[in-house]
Chain A
Amino acid sequence: MTDSTDTTGRTSFFMSTLIKLATTLGAIAFTMLGLLFVTFMIGRVMPIDPVIAVVGERASKELYDTTFLEMGLDKPLIVQFGYYLADVLQGDFGMSRLNGRPVAEDIARVFPATLELATLGTFIGVFIGVPLGVVAAVKRGTWIDQVARVIALIGYSMPIFWLGLVSLLVFYGILGWVGGPGRVSIFYMDIVPPVTGMILVDSILDGNWEVFWNAVSHIILPASLLGYFSLAYISRMTRSFMLEQLSAEYITTARVKGLSERSVIWKHAFGNIKVQLITVIALSYAGLLEGSVLTEIIFSWPGIGSYITTALLSADMNAVLGGTVVVGLVFVCLNVFSDLLYKFYDPRAK
């Protein structure tokens, strides 16, 4: 199959784009609603008394009862969900039951931390993983392929908290090459004004290079770890996609035509796997974004993964719902993005 360009007129293309956009938005809305509903219901069937989560174990019966009513727990579930939905639509995620703050504020604090980490991790994963995968496919069966395979498999088979602790011990404890747990060293905390919430970005905006380098020294290790895991996945998938392409007929044809090997691999084969690859990268990015809870715990990284987990285990449902919605939204957007790529650019899906 060759590249088929759209031959229909500009207008109808525009219209169909609009329709697609509308369907897409509808799909997102539907997904988010479903997500909220499932989360809400799970929260209600959990065998944790949400009132105790708020008032603590030594509260009097009176306090318990008033709090029970205040939380609206006497109403039918579906009514409770309705109330919650109405608030969310107005942009109000409610207050965290645990720390008495607006959930939105909490998320604005923890999400950028995860975003920063996951983005850097994915960059590392892509910039090493993709070339590694391509090379492994091209050099299939050679020692290069085996080395690439071993690198990926080790990354994939390693328990992260073990590797995290050991690398912290080695690179921070013994060698002192990187900063310790946390986003910056303690006396660099709260120096740059939070604009994006991502310290790397904020310190650049502020022009404070000292904080920037400190933050780099802290993020490099956890990001490399996450990057390694994402590398393992991305390189394996890349290899798999590439092999598929390289054995295809058009590649043979191209080779027979006398095209250079570089052109065959990069222009034709790699060109054809780009879309699949982006899906994989998006999935892996989303995976890192939803929080590598264990990495966050080991590196005392105040991100969204540990935020949601803690909230869930303490039945702080507003926080869980808020966190889930944000993570879910990002995820859905990434998905829709790769979906659209499929629809628009992959000739085979047409």
Chain B
Amino acid sequence: MTDQVSQSGWRAWLTTDTPTSRRQAKLSSWYHGWLAFRGNTMAMFGLGILVFLILIAIFAPLIAPHDPLAQDLGNRLKPLGESGHFLGTDSLGRDILSRLIYGARITLYIVILVALIAPVVGLFIGTVAGYTGGIIDATLMRITDIFLAFPRLVLALAFVAALGAGIENAVLAIALTAWPPYARIARAETLTIRNSDYISAVRLQGAGPLRIITKHIWPLCLSSLIVRITLDMAGIILAAAGLGFLGMGAQPPTPEWGAMISEGRRFILDHWWVATMPGLAIFTVSLAFNLLGDGLRDVLDPKDGGS
């Protein structure tokens, strides 16, 4: 059956209206999603930027024109394009372009890690609370409230201060502050879905709570969460920068973009590029995430459907 389909056949197999197996149905729906996504120019643009970013991060040593750490005090704060530095040099005479290229690695690392931790925790807590209700709901939501009620930077700062500065701890701290909103959104969604006819029907078919939550509620919560995560990406990068700004994030001489902005902001009036270049880098990546997220939303949101 599936193994013998020819090259031209697999597309037909994927797009069939009458799937013959569960796997085929699933793959088929993904493929349809991809087709819808591919039609969204802006989302593809965002994806393109992110792929580009990943490539840059992987091949940083090959692409970077200079050593990102090499100082040259006699050659500092050079404007764009001067003496072989395409994006100029910073306060210690380091090549800004090379630092940006290497910084892509750190940015990706932070973003991916936070995006893997926070929403998962939030989703889990939120849906369990929303679905089970009663005392479990009350307890989980009170805990969420406690963390939500914290001034975020204070919590993150305190956490890093207690654990020690560094990227890993910064990531944990940001994740710690980022999960409660996801939990609330997931719960709110669950509350509205919980009593729907659809879930009642599933329940009548004899599905247990765990199965209902993971198979039926999670997918429905995804759209709201994805919008939120993508919108949060910039916030995560900037939160990491904020921690770096207070000496609690990436430690020098690591070329973390946020830290580069804080270093360069002192020169904003006369040497605007020092802060602006990493600012643009962050801006571009956040924008890419946002565009991508929007596209994904159209594809993943079962309530909304692709248009």
Any A–B CB pair closer than 8 Å: yes
- Which residue of chain A lies nearest to B189 when distances are taken between CB atoms in the complex? A276
Q: Interface residue count for B (Cβ, 8 Å)?
A: 60
Binary contact track A24-68/B, C-beta < 8 Å → 1, others 0: 000100111011001100110111100000000000000000000
Q: Chain A CB within 10 Å — which of B149, B184, B279, B287 has the most?
A: B149
User: Are A162 and B279 interface neighbours, CB within 8 A?
Assistant: yes
* A328 to B184 Cα, complex, angstroms: 16
Which residue from B192, B224, B234, B241 sits with its C-beta under 8 Å from A240? B224
Question: Chain A's nearest CB lies how many Å from the CB of B37?
Answer: 15
Q: A243-B304, A327-B149 are in contact. Are A156 and B261 (CB under 8 A)?
A: no
Residues of B within 8 A of A328 (CB): 149-151
Structural contact, B158 and A312, CB atoms closer than 8 A: yes
Q: How far is the CA of A208 from the CA of B145 in the complex (A)?
A: 41
- Give the distance in Å from the alpha carbon of A275 to the alpha carbon of B53 in the complex: 39
Question: B231: CB under 8 A from chain A?
Answer: yes
B54 within 8 Å of A (CB atoms):
no
Whether the Cβ atoms of B152 and A290 lie closer than 8 Å is: yes
Least Cβ distance of A142 to chain B in Å? Answer: 12
Q: If the complex has contacts A47-B162, A156-B290, A312-B161, are A335 and B154 also in contact, measured as CB distance less than 8 A?
A: no
Tell me the complex Cα distance, A128–B103, Å: 35
Interface size of A as a range: 35 or more
> How far is B273's CA from A84's CA once the two chains are assembled, in angstroms?
49
Contact across chains for A169 and B241 when beta carbons are under 8 A apart: no
Within 8 A of B (CB), among A335-350: 335, 342, 346, 348-350
Q: Indicate whether A78 reaches chain B with its CB closer than 8 angstroms.
A: no
* Contact, CB under 8 Å: A244 / B227: no
Assuming the contacts A42-B158, A276-B188, asked whether A159 and B279 have C-beta atoms less than 8 A apart, the reply is yes
Distance (whole angstroms) from the CB of B44 to the closest CB of chain A: 15
A140–B304 Cα distance when bound, in Å, is: 12
How far apart sit A43 and B258, CA to CA, in the bound complex (Å)? 26
Given known contacts A156-B290, A160-B238, A165 and B265 CB-to-CB distance under 8 angstroms: yes
Is the CB–CB distance between B261 and A161 below 8 Å?
Answer: yes
Q: How far is the CA of A118 from the CA of B233 in the complex (A)?
A: 23
B73 at the interface (CB under 8 A from A): no
The docked-state distance in angstroms from the alpha carbon of A45 to that of B159 is 9
From DSSP, what is the main secondary structure of chain A's interface residues? helix
- B154 near A156 with CB under 8 A, answer no
Tell me if B294 counts as interface (CB < 8 A to partner A).
yes
Contacts A34-B146, A48-B161, A276-B188 given; indicate if A157 touches B154 (C-beta within 8 A).
Answer: no
Q: Which among A32, A244, A312 is the interface contact of B154 at CB below 8 angstroms?
A: A312
A279 adjacent to chain B (CB < 8 Å): yes
User: Is A309 an interface residue, CB under 8 A from the partner?
Assistant: yes
Question: Contact between A313 and B150 (Cβ–Cβ < 8 Å)?
Answer: no
Docked CA distance A157–B234 (Å) = 5
Per the bound structure, the CA–CA distance linking A42 and B158 in Å amounts to: 6
Task: Select A308's contact among B143, B151, B268, beta carbons within 8 Å.
Answer: B151
Contact A237–B227 (Cβ < 8 Å): yes
Q: How far is the CA of A320 from the CA of B150 in the complex (A)?
A: 11
Convert B154-196 into 0s and 1s, putting 1 for each residue whose CB lies closer than 8 angstroms to a CB of A.
1101110110100000000000000001001000100110010
Nearest CB of chain A from residue B258's CB, rounded to whole Å: 8
A230: Cβ under 8 A from any B Cβ: no
- A183 located at the interface, meaning its Cβ lies under 8 Å from any Cβ of chain B in the complex: no
Closest to A330 in B: B149
Complex contact A158–B145 (CB within 8 A) = no
A349–B192 touching, CB < 8 Å? yes
Interface centre among A157, A232, A327, A331 (most CB of B within 10 A): A157
B201 at the interface (CB under 8 A from A): no
Q: For residue A327, which residue of chain B has the nearest CB?
A: B151
Q: Does B297 contact A (CB under 8 A)?
A: yes
A25 to B287, alpha carbons, bound, how many Å? 42
Chain A residues near B238 (CB-CB < 8 A): 159-160
Judge whether A27 and B142 touch: CB under 8 Å. yes
Sample of 11 further A-B pairs with CB below 8 A, known A47-B162, A342-B191: A149-B42, A161-B261, A162-B268, A165-B265, A169-B268, A232-B231, A240-B227, A308-B154, A312-B157, A346-B192, A349-B191
Can you give 26 contacting A-B residue pairs, CB < 8 Å?
A: A31-B149, A34-B142, A34-B145, A35-B146, A35-B149, A42-B159, A46-B161, A154-B283, A157-B287, A158-B283, A159-B283, A162-B268, A165-B268, A166-B268, A169-B268, A236-B227, A240-B297, A244-B304, A279-B188, A290-B150, A291-B153, A309-B153, A312-B154, A313-B161, A324-B151, A332-B145
Binding site for A on B (CB under 8 A): 42, 138, 141-143, 145-146, 148-155, 157-159, 161-162, 164, 181, 184, 188, 191-192, 195, 223-224, 227, 231, 234-235, 238, 241-242, 245-246, 258, 261-262, 265, 268-269, 275-276, 279, 282-284, 286-287, 290-291, 294, 297, 303-305, 307
* Chain A residues close to B by CB (< 8 Å): 27, 30-32, 34-35, 38-39, 42-43, 45-48, 140-141, 146, 149, 153-154, 156-162, 165-166, 169, 232-233, 236-237, 240, 243-244, 247, 276, 279, 283, 287, 290-291, 293-294, 305, 308-309, 312-313, 320, 323-324, 327-329, 331-332, 335, 342, 346, 348-350
Q: Which 8 A-B pairs have the closest CB atoms?
A: A157-B286, A328-B149, A34-B146, A290-B151, A42-B158, A331-B149, A31-B145, A348-B192
